Amino acid sequence: AQSVTQPDIHITVSEGASLELRCNYSYGATPYLFWYVQSPGQGLQLLLKYFSGDTLVQGIKGFEAEFKRSQSSFNLRKPSVHWSDAAEYFCAVGAWLGSGDKLTFGTGTRLAVRP
């Protein structure tokens, strides 16, 4: 069974500082990996995804993530955090199985940004 672990429940960084959110996954085959962001009371917005190819993927809002198969990780990074980045971030792993895509989400990391 696939699973996702986000070790950090809550992270606080200063505005302008760099950010790295950790994500480890367990999956039997080549995973499809995603990072989503959720603002309070809102749905999820896709930041970036990895299917195959280049292991360093660029996303929206200046985010990037690196797929490391040897470490089963897909950490999210941003070189300089903005106050508007404060939100909940979810890592997810999925499988493209015909018409069905079941995503398994991590428990999320809540990011607070210190002025």
Partner 1 sequence: GAVVSQHPSWVICKSGTSVKIECRSLDFQATTMFWYRQFPKQSLMLMATSNEGSKATYEQGVEKDKFLINHASLTLSTLTVTSAHPEDSSFYICSVKGLQDSPLHFGNGTRLTVT
The binding site for partner 1 (CB under 8 A) comprises 34, 36, 41-46, 49, 51, 90, 94, 96, 99-108
* CB of residue 80 to partner 1, shortest distance in Å: 25
Question: Cα separations (Å) of 42 from 1, 3, 36, 88?
Answer: 28, 24, 12, 10
* CB of residue 107 to partner 1, shortest distance in Å: 5
Give whichever of 19 and 50 is closer to partner 1, judged by the CB atom.
50
* CB of residue 49 to partner 1, shortest distance in Å: 5
What tokens were used for 76?
């999210």
Give whichever of 15 and 32 is closer to partner 1, judged by the CB atom.
32
φ, ψ of residue 8 in degrees (nearest 5): -100, 115
Give whichever of 2 and 15 is closer to partner 1, judged by the CB atom.
2
Give whichever of 12 and 42 is closer to partner 1, judged by the CB atom.
42
> Alpha-carbon distance 108 to 111, whole Å?
10
* CB of residue 12 to partner 1, shortest distance in Å: 16
Cβ proximity of 113 and 86 under 8 Å: yes
Q: Parallel, antiparallel, or unpaired for β 10-14 and 109-114? A: parallel
